[in-house]
Structure 1
Amino acid sequence: MDLLSQLETILESDPLIDEVGLIHSSQFVTLNKEVGEFGNSSVDDAFRPTDTKFWNRDHKLGISTEVVLPLCKAAKSAFMDAMKQYKMLSNLSDDKHEDENIVYGSSSSCQYFEHEVMKHSRALLLLSCDFGTAWNARKLLVLKKPQLSVFTDELLLSALVLSYSPKSEQAWSHRRWVIKMIAEKYLNLQQIVAKESGLVEKIAERSKMNYRAWNHRCWLVSYMTREQMLHELKRSKDWAGLHVADNSCFHYRRRLILRILENKPNKQGDNFSYDVENYQVMKEELELNEVLIKRYIGREALWLHRRYLSLCWIRHLTTMCGISYHSEQKTNMDNEINIFFDKEFCLLDSCLMIQDTEFEDFEAQAMCSAIYFVWLIKKIPQFRKVEMHEKLKVGNLKNILHKTCSERSFLRDLLEER
C-alpha cells in the first residue's frame, strides 16, 4: 500500500505524464547517472530520481519490474474496496426515506469515494490495462460529470496506457467511447481527429502489425472532413510503400478512398470540381499500386488492393459516362476506360513472364496477375469482353495465361468460359 501511495502521488503531481514503462532494477543506476550528467543543476535535489522503485522525469514514468505484482494486488484491493463503499453510499443517497442529515453526509462521503475510485482505477489500469471493471467504473463516474475537461482526462489516461500496451483492446474501446461522447456534446471534432491520427501513427510506428491501432484509425475516418481524408492519404503513402506486408494500411487507404468517393459537395455547382479531384485521387492510387507491384514481387496484398481500386475506377468511369449529357464528355470517358484496360494489359504482360524459376516470388507474381485478370474479365461490361479477347490474341497473352493456369484447373475453366 505504501508503494501504491507513492505511485498515485507521482501521477497526481505530474498530470502531464505521457509515457510509462517497466524498468529492470539494474536500469535505475544507468538512468540516475544520465540525469546526473545531463540534468539541469538548478533542479532541486529532492526531485532527482534516487528511488529504485519509480523513475519520473520529463513527464516519463518508469516502474520497477520487481514491484509490479505487489503494486497490482494493492491497486486492485484498494479499487474494489473504494467501489464497494461508493455503491453502498450511492444507494443510501438514492433512498428518499432516509433522514436528510444522513443523506447529506452520505452524499459528501460519496464524492470522496468517487475520487478514490478514479484515483485507484487509474493506477490499476497502468498496471493491468485489460481490467474491464476499472474501465467501466470510470465510464460510470464520467457520465455523472460529462464535462470536456473530464473527457480530456480520459483521453490522456488511455493514451498513457497505450504508450506501454499499444494493443490493449480495452484502452482503444474506451478511447472510442470518449470520442463518441465528445461528438454528441461538442460539434467541432476536427482538432481532436487530427490529434488522434497523429497519436495512432506514433503507436503504429512503435508497434508493428498493430491491427487495433489501424482499426481505430479506420473508425476515425467517419469523423474526418474531406480535406482531412485527402491529407491522410498523402500522410500514409510512405508507410504503405515501406510496409507492403501490413495489409492494415491498405485497408485504411481503401476506407479513405471510399469515403472520399461517397462525399457529396454542399453546393450543387461543386460537383465538377469534386469529380475531377476524385479522378485524380484514384489515378494516383492506381499508379502507386502499380509501382509497388513491380517493386515487391509476388505480394498478394498488393493485388487484392488493386482489385478494389479497379472496381472503384470502373464504376466511377461508367457512372460518369452514364450521367453525361454531352457526347464529347462521353467520348472522353470511353477513352479513359480504354486507356485503363490497355494499362492493365501491359501490367499483365510484364507480370506473367516468369524470369527465374529458382525463386517462387516470380511464380507467385504470375499467378496473382492471372487471378486478377480472370477477376477483371468478370467485372467489365459485356460489350467490352470481345474487345479484350481480341487484344489477348494479338499479344499472345492467352497462351501465356493457359500455361500459367495449367496447375489451377478452376482458373483454366474460368478462362475457357470467356
Structure 2
Amino acid sequence: MTSNASETEQSNTLPVSLEEIERARELLDGVIVPTPLDHSRALGRITGSTVHLKCENLQRAGSFKVRGAYVRMARLSPEERARGVVAASAGNHAQGVALAAAKLGMKARIYMPLGVALPKLQATRDHGAEVVLLGNNVDEALAAAQRYSEETGAVVIHPFDHEDIVAGQGTIGLEILEKDPEVDTIIMGIGGGGLLAGVAVAVKEMARRTGRQIRIIGVQAENAAAYPPSLAADAVVPLTHVSTIADGIAVGRPGQLPFQIIRELVDGVVTVSEDAIANALVFLLERSKMVVEPAGAVGVAALLEGKLEELGISSERTVAVLSGGNIDPMLMLKVIQSGLSAAGRFLTVRIALRDRPGELSTISRIIAETDANVTRVDHTRIGGSLGMGDVFITIDMETRGAEHSEEVLGRLRSAGYQPVVRP
C-alpha cells in the first residue's frame, strides 16, 4: 500500500484533496458536532499505548454519516434539489441523508433492507424521509434506489462512492489532528471505504506537510471483509455473501473511489471475529461508558486482539474511531451476552442426567460452591437422544472469567456429570 517516497505524487493524483476536505469542513460548520477525543486508560493499559477514542457515536443522528451526506447534498444545484434525493442504507447513512434533507429543505426517499433495526427505521422516518423497505441487504436496496433515480430524476446519494461523501467524512481526520497532533496511528472500521479514505487523505497530507508519519489502519469483520482480497488483487473483488453483527460495515463490494485512495494511502487492513466485536462492545460499555454499535467497535476490537502487533506496528499514541452508536436494544442484549461469553464471563452448559429427585439440587450446590451465579435453568424431557427417564438440563450462569468457568466445569465433571458448553 502506501510508501513514503511516493506520497507527494499520490496527493496530487488522488480524486479527493486536503483542500476539498477543508472546504467541506466550512460547509459543515454549525451542522455537525465536532466530537470529542476520550482518553481510554483501560485500553492504554492493555496496549501499552496512549489511546483516545474519537466519539462519532455522539454525532448528530448517531454516526459520522451526516458529514458526507450533508456535504454532497449542499453542493447540489437548485434544479437537482428540486428533483429530490434517494439513498439506500441499513441505517446510519439513511439517518444522515434524512437529517441533511430536513436541514436543506429537500425531499428524500430512503430504501432500507427488510429486517433493518427498528430504531434506525424510526429515526429515519422521524427526520421526515420517506422510507421504503426492500431487499435483503444494502446492495439490493441500492439497486432499487438506482432504479427509482432513473425513473424520477431523483439524485442518488451514494453511501461512500462519491468525492463529496469522502471529503465530508475526511473532516474527522482534521478534528483528530487538532485534538491530538502527536497521534501516530489511527484505526477505524471499513464498509465501503468512504470514512477510511477521507480520513487517510486528510491525515496523510497534513502529516506530509509537517514531516511526520502517521499510520492509518482499517478494520473489517471477518465475515464481511472485501478489502483484503481486493487489495491483494489490486482491483475491486466483490464478496458473494456477507454476514456479521456489524451491519454498518456489512458491505460486499468496496467503493471504486475509496478503494483507489485506500490502496495508495492506507498502511494496513485487518479483520476481527464476531466474538471480538461483541467483546469490544461490552468493553466500551463497561470501561468507557460508551454505547457503540458493532460497526463502531471494530477498531477497539482490533486493539484488544493485538492486531497492530500482528502488523509489526508499535504505536505510542493511538486513536480509534467509534464510528456510530445506533444499536437496536434487542441486538445489544444478544451482543452483550455473546461478549460476556467470549470473555469467559457467561457460561451456558447442557447436562444429561436421570430425571429423579435431588439431581438439580446437587448440581445447584456444586455451582454455588464455586461462587458462580445461575441466571436461568431449562429442563427438556423430549428429544431424539434422550432415553426413558432421562432429562436435559441447560443452565446459564455468570462467572468471573475463563479460569472461573473452567473451575465450574471441572467440579461438575469431578462429580460425574458431563457438561457440554453451549454457544
What TM-score do the two structures reach when normalised by structure 2?
A: 0.25
- The answer to which structure, 1 or 2, has the higher relative contact order (CA under 8 A, 6+ apart) is 2
Which structure dedicates a bigger proportion of its chain to strand?
2
Q: Which has the larger radius of gyration?
A: 1
- Normalised by the length of structure 1, the TM-score is 0.25
